[in-house]
Amino acid sequence: MDPEIEQAHDARVPYLSPENLGDPDGRLVRAPSPVPLAESYATQEHTSLRRGMRAIVRARLDSTTRTPKPEEVYGITKWMVTAWNPLGRVCTLEENTELNCDLLDRLMSEKILFGEVLRTTPPDRSWLEDTYVFAGMDEASVLEVAREFGQPAFTAWRDTFLTVIPTGLVDGLEMVTREVTVELRPMTCPMRVDDLEAKKCVIHGGPFGSRAIHAASIWSTHRELIMPRLGCTPCGGGVDPTLGPLAGAGGPVMLSDIGLASRYGSYVWR
């Protein structure tokens, strides 16, 4: 194998995939996430694109978990809420998009101060959620909305602090407040975890054999999800993928919808 392609395979995003991809029954199995739900909320990153860079809002995990003093909290409170994958339900991109449209309608009925859509991911980008950022509601009202849309938790951004607030729909989650950090990072290939500039991804899987075809389908689905949302300088925003043996065919063609990976588990066929 070409060393460059081998390096790209080694650096690929470790998104989960169902085992036994060659078995039709195996394709319907959702492998649970190896990361506990509480940890997924603690380590999540919120990304927006700024002048050719990624602006990352995240909690400082090296900071002490504590309740901020009144004088440390000032300015307007911004809320981060999504409707994706309610209570871990397996959803396609189309279904999640419709859920977020319903959430936006609900929020706009409250006459909120709307901010923007952030892309919430774990550090390794193995799943993604579209998250609304807004202000103009009190915590009790946001809690009600998050519960209505099946979310175990939502996030409050109070100046220099991020607070994960559980909704009570799932056991084992606690309110956690940490200092916030905002970073600017280059738009490296989001399908690679090494974040090396100018390095591209290559397809995982291939056109020959059931397992390889389905692995390629998962790779393509994940790439189509995160590339336009997180940007990619190496291939001009995602228009020039290195598809290897599928380059001439234009990539794998899915015959059925794929349920997206989420903080709850892996990709799965419907």
What is the per-residue DSSP string for 43-71?
H-EEEEEETTEEEEEEE-TTSPP-PPPGG
74 vs 10, residue with greater confidence:
10
46 vs 239, residue with greater confidence:
46
Give the model's confidence band at 239: pLDDT under 50 very low, under 70 low, under 90 confident, else very high. Answer: low
Residue 205: the pLDDT is 78
Closest residue by Cα to residue 130 from 104, 100, 92: 100
Residue 7: the pLDDT is 86
Pair of tokens at residue 85: 């994958």
Q: Rounded mean pLDDT of 1-8?
A: 79
- Chain mean pLDDT for the chain: 86
Residue 214: the pLDDT is 80
Closest residue by Cα to residue 119 from 127, 128, 110: 128
d(CA 178, CA 156): 11
Residue 260: the pLDDT is 94
pTM of the model: 0.89
HSE-CB of 206 using CA atoms within 13 angstroms = 5
Residue 44: the pLDDT is 98
Residue pLDDT, tens place only, 18-77: 666 666 666 667 888 989 999 999 999 999 999 889 999 999 988 666 666 655 566 689
- Give the relative orientation of helices 93-108 and 139-148 as an angle to the nearest 10 degrees: 150
Q: Rounded mean pLDDT of 90-117?
A: 93
In three-state secondary structure terms, 161 is strand
Q: Percentage of the chain surpassing pLDDT 90? A: 57
Q: Rounded mean pLDDT of 173-197?
A: 94
- 71 Cβ neighbours under 8 A, 6+ residues apart: none
d(CA 242, CA 140): 48
Residue 249: the pLDDT is 43
H or E element in which residue 115 lies: strand 113-121
d(CA 106, CA 103): 5
63 vs 214, residue with greater confidence:
214
Residue pLDDT, tens place only, 146-178: 999 999 999 999 888 899 999 999 999 999 999
Q: Are strands 77-81 and 53-59 parallel, antiparallel or unpaired?
A: unpaired
Residue 147: the pLDDT is 98
Pair of tokens at residue 165: 């607030």
Provide the 10 A C-beta neighbour count for residue 159: 13
d(CA 166, CA 242): 41
Closest residue by Cα to residue 88 from 39, 33, 141: 33
Check pLDDT > 90 for residue 14.
no
Pair of tokens at residue 109: 């009925």
Check pLDDT > 50 for residue 243.
no
Closest residue by Cα to residue 51 from 226, 187, 190, 229: 187
Pair of tokens at residue 253: 């063609």
In three-state secondary structure terms, 163 is strand
Pair of tokens at residue 80: 């981060």
Q: Rounded mean pLDDT of 175-203?
A: 93
Provide φ and ψ at 105, rounded to 5°: -60, -40
